[in-house]
């Protein structure tokens, strides 16, 4: 079945550091890929998405490129802020339905 593997956290960075959170997937067919963010005490929010190979999703300074050859969708940001502290979930969707398969989440802590 479909699955998503994320790097384990927590990831602790200093403000303005470069961020990479790795995500790889296993799926039948051609999935759509997503990054969701969960701020403390809140529900998940869509951060960015990519629906086909080589697409780059971007939002709020975050980027991720859909790499079919390596089945990856790594999240990057050039300069993190304290306000980026949250849990980040990689997810995929296959077929015509709306069921999402989530990774286990990666907690990011950004310190001054």
Partner 1 sequence: NAGVTQTPKFQVLKTGQSMTLQCAQDMNHEYMSWYRQDPGMGLRLIHYSVGAGITDQGEVPNGYNVSRSTTEDFPLRLLSAAPSQTSVYFCASVRDRSHEQYFGPGTRLTVT
Binding site for partner 1 (CB under 8 A): 4, 32, 34, 36, 41-46, 49, 51, 89, 93, 97-100, 102-105
Residues 6+ apart with CB under 8 A from 98: none
- In angstroms, the Cα distances linking 106 to 4, 16, 21, 30, 74 are 12, 19, 8, 24, 12
Nearer to partner 1 by Cβ, of 29 and 41: the residue is 41
Nearer to partner 1 by Cβ, of 12 and 51: the residue is 51
Residue 64 and residue 37: Cα distance in Å, rounded? 14
What is the nearest approach in angstroms of partner 1 to the Cβ of residue 112? 27
Residue 93 and residue 41: Cα distance in Å, rounded? 25
What is the nearest approach in angstroms of partner 1 to the Cβ of residue 14? 26
Q: Cβ(33)–Cβ(90) under 8 Å? A: yes
What is the nearest approach in angstroms of partner 1 to the Cβ of residue 52? 12
Nearer to partner 1 by Cβ, of 57 and 84: the residue is 57
Nearer to partner 1 by Cβ, of 36 and 66: the residue is 36
């Amino acid at each position: 079945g479909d699955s998503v593997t994320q790097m384990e956290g927590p990831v602790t960075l200093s403000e303005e550091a470069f961020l990479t959170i790795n995500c790889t997937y296993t799926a039948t067919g051609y999935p759509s890929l997503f990054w969701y963010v969960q701020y403390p005490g809140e529900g998940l929010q869509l951060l960015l998405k990519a629906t086909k190979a080589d697409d780059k999703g971007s939002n709020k300074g975050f980027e991720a490129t859909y790499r079919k050859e390596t089945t990856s969708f790594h999240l990057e940001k050039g300069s993190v802020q304290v306000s980026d502290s949250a849990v980040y979930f990689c997810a995929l969707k296959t077929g015509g339905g709306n069921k999402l398969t989530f990774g286990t989440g990666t907690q990011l802590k950004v310190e001054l």
